[in-house]
Amino acid sequence: MDIAMLTKFFMWCTILNLGLLMFLFLIVAFTGDFVYKMHSKWFPMPRETFNVVLYSFLGGYKIIVFAFNVMPWAVLVIIR
């Protein structure tokens, strides 16, 4: 694998993962009550706990995307 192929790989990984992150955020932002009602049938918990779990998941996913997709792509673009 050469640098150009790795750069394209990380570019597409970044695009797809950030798109998924934005999609999940929009679902939570506009249908938060529906998502809570659906999940509270399976896992009974108060709304505050659900919010903490949900935002912790989104925050952790965002950190992982930036650490393992955006940063390697940016480094490859810089050294190219």
Note the pLDDT of residue 1.
Answer: 83
Domain count, the chain: 1
51: domain range?
3-79
What distances in angstroms separate CA 40 from CA 28, 51, 53, 54, 69, one per listed residue?
Answer: 15, 12, 12, 13, 33
- State residue 80's pLDDT score: 86
Chunked mean pLDDT (size 10), the chain, 80 residues: 94 98 96 93 94 96 98 95
Amino acid at 16: L
Contacts of 53 (CB under 8 A, 6+ apart): 45
Tell me the pTM: 0.86
Residue 27: which residues within 8 A CB-CB, separation 6 or more?
Answer: 35
What is the per-residue pLDDT for 57? Answer: 96
